[in-house]
Amino acid sequence: MDNKRNYFDRVHVWGTVWNYAALFMMMMVPVMMSIVLNTWPSLSIIGKVVATLAPLYWVTGIIEVVTYVPMLGAGGTYLSFVTGNISNLKLPCGLNAMENAKVRPNTEEGEVISTISIAVSSLTTTLVIAVGVLVFAPIFSSASDNPTFKAAFSNVLPALFGALGASYFAKHWKLGIAPIIGGVLVLLVSPSTGVGVLMFVTIVISLIAAVIIYRDLFFPVIKGFGKKSKKATAPAETEESAQEEE
């Protein structure tokens, strides 16, 4: 118990330190560009932009924390929020690693597997991006504008989620129906819904559907409704049969 507490204490301390360090480094990028170029934006423009975007990102940030932490654990969450690409890379990697290791999220084993997998994913991503930039930089600009390759570049994310989601849908197809229908309805009502909000909505729908399916709450209602309808039609059928006998 003491080792577990010490582990999580160190994770939270170093996770907080590196998150603030990453935030400081990201904030210093525009500051250094302004210093080098000797060009500073006016405070009125910054205020207008912040007033427009801050409410959206505050809501998304809260939703992402509530959504990701139970699935990725403490270490995986800190690593993911520092390195980025959570929904399209870190989250699928962590969940797939825990599934292959046959451990559950929000357990000690899941915590270790999730943290290791996301750390390896971050290193692999950095290496692949570095190699890709060096190798494909000369031809990337022309390839991205080429109509033959443009469709492929615009469908990378749907293809990634489709490939990852196909295995889950095949194994648990009953759980996949409700979130898919819910996500489609949300996008039909509000096509501009952000990914973070849409993910939170579909996860809530998935949880509700899982509870209903696990407790078998839906089918008894249908069966009870069928019994009531049979009882209601029984007297009518007896009256018709009596009239025919007469």
pLDDT tens-digit series, residues 144-171? 666 777 777 777 777 777 776 777 777 7
Asked whether the beta carbons of 92 and 72 are under 8 A apart, the reply is: no
Mean pLDDT score across all residues of the chain:
77
Of 78-87, 150-159, 170-179, 203-212, least confident by mean pLDDT is: 150-159
Is 209 contained in some domain?
yes
Region 111-118: what's the mean pLDDT? 89
Q: How far is CA 6 from the centre of its chain?
A: 29
Asked whether the beta carbons of 175 and 213 are under 8 A apart, the reply is: yes
Confidence of residue 222 (pLDDT cuts 50, 70, 90): very low
CA angle 156, 157, 159 (to 5 degrees): 65
Is 79 contained in some domain?
yes
Separation CA 175–CA 179 (nearest Å):
8
Quote the percentage of the chain above a pLDDT of 70.
Answer: 78
What's the first-to-final CA gap in the chain, in angstroms? Answer: 83
Residues 81 and 139 reside in one and the same domain: yes
Q: CA torsion, points 131, 132, 138, 142, in degrees to nearest 10?
A: 180
Residues 159 and 183 reside in one and the same domain: no
Predicted confidence (pLDDT) at residue 22 exceeds the cutoff of 60:
yes
Rg (CA), the chain: 26
Is 244 contained in some domain?
no
Q: What local confidence, expressed as pLDDT, does residue 225 receive?
A: 47
Region 83-95: what's the mean pLDDT? 83
Region 133-143: what's the mean pLDDT? 73
Residues 71 and 164 reside in one and the same domain: yes
Residues 122 and 203 reside in one and the same domain: no
Expressed as residue numbers, the domain containing 158 is: 66-171
Q: What local confidence, expressed as pLDDT, does residue 24 receive?
A: 92
Separation CA 77–CA 89 (nearest Å):
13
Region 176-204: what's the mean pLDDT? 82
Residues 223 and 141 reside in one and the same domain: no
Residue type, 8: F
Residues 133 and 120 reside in one and the same domain: yes
SS (H, E, C) the chain: CHHHHHHHHHHHHHHHHHHHHHHHHHHHHHHHHHHHHCCCCCHHHHHHHHHHHHHHHHHHHHHHHHHHHHHHHHHHHHHHHHHCCHHHHHHHHHHHHHHHCCCCCCCHHHHHHHHHHHHHHHHHHHHHHHHHHHHHHHHHHHHHHCHHHHHHHHCHHHHHHHHHHHHHHHHCHHHHHHHHHHHHHHHHHCCCCCHHHHHHHHHHHHHHHHHHHHCCCHHHHHHHHHHHHHHHHHHHHHHHHHHHHC
Residue type, 22: A
Whether pTM exceeds 0.95? no
Separation CA 8–CA 75 (nearest Å):
8
Q: How many domains does the chain have?
A: 2
Q: What local confidence, expressed as pLDDT, does residue 54 receive?
A: 73
